[in-house]
Each structure stands twice: as structure tokens, then as C-alpha cells.
Structure 1
Amino acid sequence: MLRFTRRACAAVLSSLAVHAAACAAPAAEPVPVRILLNWFAQPDQAGYWQAQQDKLGRDAGIAITVRQGGPRIQTIPQVASGQAEFGIANADDLLLARARGAPVRAVLAHLDHVPYTLVYHRNPAVKSIRDLRDRTFAVNLGSAYWEWLRHRYGLDGARSIPVSGDLSLFRNDPRMVQQGYSLYLPARMAQAGVAVQQVTLASLGYRSYGVLFTTDEMIRDRPALVRATVAAVRQGWRNYAANPAALRPLLTGLNQQIPPALYDSASRELIDTQLAGDPAKFGCMSAARWRELAAQLAAVKFLPAGFDAGSAFDRTLVPGCDS
């Protein structure tokens, strides 16, 4: 027969109580991670929405929440001021912000190039963008890409007006050129019965990444959280590319301007042109590409000569990227 002293019994009971308390303790709550987008929900942001929908990152202790953008959202100053941990932006805007002192850096490229395009009424006589130099361009006035295009292709004489969401001006003016995204604008024109052609900015040599960015402070002080977010977002883009239909109800529900047919056509183009490379390299950024873009901005006096493009990005947070 086993006998326990009073002290031994107390020790056993204390040990059991500790184990019971450990079993009853709730798991630590995941750390909230807010990602601020630069426009309303649409397929070129799909990997971020997919990461939220699939609850990616929970195993690493983070909970991703995506916030829609819009005309009043400015992701760079809002992330820099702590209103979100991460945001998305165009690489040229990030370079300009960095030059002005904003403490932000890109950590992943989700778009090899922002799919900007210039759409014009179909005309077989138009062989290059120089053939459009006497047209009216509806563009983001004063934007870096437009100033570079004018400088590079001799469009200084072209009339330019502010771009808007009202496509009736374009439909009614056969000599107008309209800025938009290649994923959406040509399809919308076709749906409206307007025959168009397009020339993409990437084909003209202006290739600004679409990037996920955060602050210098986050990279310095919370590198594990940044890496976990990058990993979750990369997986989100892979999941979307494997089955884009799974995200369709969410995005078309959030944005009525993207009906299912347009979502599907945009997804096909996005996957074929931006996501078709080596999945292991998704998100990687080239230092040479950043330098090229910085030189283009310097050519039109948007950046000072000799600006250090390397200050605007951190390539170490996506594993497997070559130097």
C-alpha cells in the first residue's frame, strides 16, 4: 500500500493544479495586421483578399484584415502615420515618397508592372504612340508616368485633361485617348460597343512594380511579423492563381463595378501576364528595375540625380530572391 506524506500530497496536488491551469489557458490571440489597399476591391489586389478569406497567417500568429481603398485613401501617409501596418502602392509613388522623407519601404512586388494602358478608338493608321501626339489625353495630370511619356515620346504638344470615371467623353470623342488599366478598360469599352486599341505603359518601357510596403520601424522592430505577413500574402496569391473563382463572390460583392464576367476576364489576363512565372520567385524585386525607374523619374526632375533607389525597398523579406 502506497503512503504519501502531507508534504508529498501537497506537492502532487500543486503540480496537478498547474497542469490543469495550463490546459485551461486560452491560446494567444493572433496579432491583427491591417493591409490598406489603394482602390476599391478588384482582381489586381486579389492575393490580399485571398489571404484574408483563407485566414492565412494564423499559424504564424497573425490575423490579416484587408481595408478597401478609394479616391480619398492615400496609403503611403496613412501607413506612415500608423493607421495600418501595411499598404499597397505603385513603386514610382513609393520612390517619390521616400525622397520626401516618408519612412516606408516595399517588401514584396505583387505586380511585375502596374497594368496602366492608354486606350484609343480603333484606327489602323495608328502604328505607335507618336501617332497619337495630336490627340486629347485623359490622364492623371502631373503624374510621373505621364511626364515621362511626354518627355520620352515627344508628346509635349498633346492636350491633356484630368481622367475621370465618366467614359461618355471618350465614347463621344473619336480623338480622345483614355488612361486606364488593361485588365478593365478595354473590356468595359467592348461591352459598351466601342471598338478600341491600346498601348500599355509596360510596352513603352515604364514598368513600375505594384508593391506591398510597410514602415522602416516595422521592418526594424517587428521583422517576424513582417515576414509572416509576406509569407501569408504570397500564399494568398498562389491560392488565387490556382482557383480564381473562389474569390469571385467576395470581390464582386464588394465592388459592383466589377461584375462576374469582368472579374473572370481580368483574372485570366492577370494570371497569364503577371502570375505565370516561377511561383518560388513570386514577390521578388530586382534592384536593377528599381534603379531604372528612379532614373526615369530623375529624367523628368521628379527625383534628384543620384537618388538612392535602394532606400525604397527591402529585398530580404521574400525568400529565394537572387541578388
Structure 2
Amino acid sequence: MHGALKSCLASALLALGTAGHAAGAEPAPVRILMNWFAQPDQAGYWQAQQDKLGRDAGIAIAVQQGGPRVQTIPQVASGQAEFGIANADDLLLARAKGAPVRAVLAHLDYVPYTLVYHRNPAVKSIGDLRDRTFAVNLGSAYWEWVRHHYRLDGARTIPVSGDLGLFRNDPAMVQQGYSLYLPARMQGAGLAVGQFTLASLGYRSYGVLFTTDEMIRTRPALVRATVAALRQGWRNYAANPAALRPLLTAMNGQISPALYDSSSRELIDTQLARDPARFGCMSAARWRELAAQLRSVKFLPAAFDEKTAFDGTLVPGCGT
């Protein structure tokens, strides 16, 4: 199945290349801005760059590493990159404030946020943590929804940091992180932990590739070629994650080879082992669900139309 899909994609890319890219012409640079330092939840983008995907269609993918000072939505909206990645809830909020950005592909079926706590057999549900201290992104949409939906209003909140020492020294602390990395880091530091993932709690914000309305309107062939190349990048990574390990571990010292391997296994098993033909598809129902959750905590106005925040036509074979 994978070989047939790869062959079909190669044929599609070749057709795009012969139709829209003159032989011998320099490929058009396509800058893709990441929202954090290089790590496996971005892997398909780095894989597409490493494999030079899209050249036959006349594009040259150049991935740009993110970090704490990178804000992908305003930077892409202002033309500093052609594409960026973001969480779908952040994209909805930005769109509602007038940012001319739109999701074109979902590389993560859900952002792997999790709430990690000191393991305790008495903890059976998130409600059992309501008297703890939560280290989270203060004011973030997901946290406001969790706090409201699960009645955690009495919980003390502090800004999240990467300091595991705070967590180690406070048995009543709950810390936000990614399920791909934080529990493994804590276990590696000798801490016994449990977790509640945001997806298991019912908050499933896509991780998305986005661009501007203008790009979709004025350069649709480039957008489609980019989406096709990136889909293949994710498939290549899922088929052989070890091929990207040297690049990502060299770029990000916090991702050890062992952590790269364990997070890649989790990512592939939980999110990428879906129907490869539909990889990247977005559901209008899922966007409605997320928008309703944001409205429930007054993050979105009632009249906002979530359909303006995504274009589901750019990944072939997707229904709504």
C-alpha cells in the first residue's frame, strides 16, 4: 500500500513539475517556520527538506527552526515565511482577530499536550488533582477549557518552565508538557509519574500547516505542491524514522537518541498509523468541536465562522 501511494504521489509531483515548472529553472524557495526547536513532532517537515522533496514540482523546501521568540502566525502573516506550523486553537483565535491565515494540512491529529503528576494510586481522574499546583501556560485556551470543564477552579496555577527541579521538590505539582517527551524525561530523572493527555480529556486541537489567504489565492499550484511534498515527507519518516535521527538530535541537544526513538514510536503508533491516503485531512466536525470548546470559555465570539480558518480542499481524497 505504501509503495503504491508513493508511486501515485511521485506521478502527481511529476505532473505538477512538467505543467508548472520549466525544465532547468531554479526551484522556488518555500520557507516553513517551525513553532519550536527541532523535535520529532515536526519530523515530516525536516524529512521533506532532507529528502529534497518537491524539486520535481519546482519547489525547494527550507525548514526554519523555531524557539521561544518565534511566533509563527504573525511572522507568516507578515511574509517572513510562506508557511508555518501552529496549533489549530491558536489559529482560530488569530483568525478571529483578523489574521489572514488558514490551515491547509493537519500533520498531528491532536497536539500531544499532557498533564503530568507524581504517580499516586489514589488518583483515578483529573478531578482528583483539583487541589494541586498546575504549572501551565497561563491563560491558554486548552487550560481554561480543562479548568472549566473539569471544575478545577480551585487549583493553584503557576507559569510552566522546563525546570524539573520544581516538580521534583513539590509532590503536589502537576506540569504541562508533551506526552512524547516530558514523562520520559521525568522517568529518566528517577521520577515516577502518571499523566492525563489533553486528547483523553476531550480537547483535540490539530497540529496544522498554515499559510496566508493570499498564498492560497495567488499561488495555488505552489501550495498544492508543498502540501504533496510534505505529506510524502511524513510518510518517509514513518517508514524509517531512524533516517532523521542524526539531524534532529544534532539540532536539539534535549532530544537524546533514546528519547528520539521512544517519541517517534509513540508518535507513529498513536497518530501516523492511520490511513496513509488520508494523511493530512481535516474534518469540519472537528473544527466545529474545537470552536465550540473555545466559545464555552469565551475565547471566540459566538458569530465567528470556524470554516474561515481552514481550507480542506488542498489534500486530495479528504471528505468533511
Structure-2-length-normalised TM-score: 0.93
Q: Which residue of 1 aligns with 2:81?
A: 84
> Aligned partners of 2:287, 2:294: CA distance in 1, in Å?
11
Instruction: Give the counterpart of 2:167 among 170, 175, 185.
Output: 170
Give the SS at the match of 1:41.
coil
- Does residue 146 in structure 1 map to residue 143 in structure 2? yes
- Does residue 121 in structure 1 map to residue 125 in structure 2? no
- Does residue 102 in structure 1 map to residue 93 in structure 2? no
Identity %: 87
Give the SS at the match of 1:316.
coil
**Could you tell me which amino acid in structure 1 is paired with residue 68 of structure 2?**
P
> Aligned partners of 2:317, 2:65: CA distance in 1, in Å?
30
CA deviation profile, 1:73-107 (whole Å, cap 9, x unmatched):
00000000000000000000000000000000000
Instruction: Give the counterpart of 1:212 among 209, 213, 221.
Output: 209
- Does residue 196 in structure 1 map to residue 190 in structure 2? no
Give structure 2 stretches of 5+ with no counterpart: 1-21
> Aligned partners of 2:162, 2:124: CA distance in 1, in Å?
27
CA deviation profile, 1:26-67 (whole Å, cap 9, x unmatched):
810000000000000000000000000000000000000000
> Aligned partners of 2:275, 2:23: CA distance in 1, in Å?
40
Larger radius of gyration: 1
**Could you tell me which amino acid in structure 1 is paired with residue 206 of structure 2?**
Y
Instruction: Give the counterpart of 2:30 among 12, 28, 33.
Output: 33
| Distance apart, 1:306 and its partner CA | 3.1
**Could you tell me which amino acid in structure 2 is paired with residue 138 of structure 1?**
A
| Distance apart, 1:307 and its partner CA | 1.6
> Aligned partners of 2:154, 2:83: CA distance in 1, in Å?
40
> Aligned partners of 1:151, 1:105: CA distance in 2, in Å?
28
Give the SS at the match of 2:196.
strand
Give the SS at the match of 1:40.
coil
> Aligned partners of 1:322, 1:279: CA distance in 2, in Å?
14
Q: Which residue of 1 aligns with 2:289?
A: 292
> Aligned partners of 1:152, 1:122: CA distance in 2, in Å?
23
> Aligned partners of 1:26, 1:232: CA distance in 2, in Å?
19
Q: Which residue of 2 aligns with 1:313?
A: 310
Q: Which residue of 1 aligns with 2:239?
A: 242
> Aligned partners of 2:303, 2:287: CA distance in 1, in Å?
13
